[in-house]
Amino acid sequence: MSDPIQLNAITSMLNLKQGGPTQQAPAVQESGKSFADFVFERLDEVNRLQTEADAGVQRLITGESDNVAEVFAASNRAGIAFDLLMEVRNKLVDAYREVQQMRV
């Protein structure tokens, strides 16, 4: 990965406090999953896609596979998923900074 994910900023956003230093805002959706669980599942999915793409490239290089189209498609899927993840991260960081600048 060329751009490291800044998990500190995402983790900070997930730990937004409400009311005081000891109360934590509930982050549970109707399905029972927290927002943090959702984000980490997406991170795992992007990681899985990148691992599959890397494995496909390795099989192509070593001659185990000759299906260039499949490797190209897997690499594109991984690239698009990573780009989307970076855009979501950027929006989350922007939202966090905007909340930080709010006057209470």
**Would you list the domain boundaries of the chain?**
44-104
Q: Long-range pairs for 29-32 at CB < 8 Å and ≥24 separation? A: none
Report the pLDDT averaged over residues 25-35.
66
**What per-residue confidence (pLDDT) applies to 26?**
53
User: How many Å separate Cα 5 from the centre of its chain?
Assistant: 8
pTM score above 0.75? no
* pLDDT score of 104: 80
Please report, for residues 24, 31, 32, 56, 89, the alpha-carbon distance to residue 92 in angstroms, rounded to integers and kept in the order given.
Answer: 18, 22, 21, 32, 5
Question: Among all chains, which residue has been given the structure tokens 């990681």?
Answer: 47
For residue 7, report the phi and psi dihedrals to the nearest 5 degrees.
Answer: -70, -25
pLDDT for residue 65 = 87
Specify whether the CB–CB gap between 58 and 66 falls below 8 A.
no
**Residues 66-86: pLDDT tens digits?**
889 999 999 999 999 999 999
Query: Residue range 52-71: average pLDDT?
Result: 93
